[in-house]
Amino acid sequence: MTIKVGDRLPDATLVKVTHEGPEQVETADYFAGRRVALFAVPGAFTPTCSAQHLPGFLAQADAIRAKGVDEIACTAVNDAFVMKAWRQVNDATAITMLADGNADFAKAIGLTLDGSKFGMGTRSQRYTMLVHDGVVEQLFVEAPGEFKVSSAEHLLSVL
């Protein structure tokens, strides 16, 4: 079942990229008591993710925070070391990287895609969600092959 607006995020473990190294975080703890803009990409270093999705959130980070968002986070079905490298290459310190290496979170919220024909296996769909104290406040899932509703600009237009 796909998560929807009004649902509480399921329990899952993500790996937060920190300067000290990978840190496991539980969704219940990570999203508690604050408003987080979470965007998901099919993969770090992939074309649309690197050329548009992440750069858009970097460019709009201050404007998004000014609308009452406490943190902006990105998740992908990649390991924490790949997510760290992607953050470094893009100077993306304004974005918290949350690795979902085994797709446990993507599966738990029902937002996976099968990238097998591209040699990528199970990945996350491209989406943006606004989470307030662990509850999905807004959710924008892209149609296959599109990049419109999950953009930072679209999120800003609805905040």
Residues that are catalytic: 49
Strand, coil or helix: 79: coil
Residue with tokens 């997510």: 83
DSSP of 49-114? IIIIIHHHHHHHHHHHHHTT--EEEEEESS-HHHHHHHHHHTT-TTSEEEE-TT-HHHHHTT-EEE
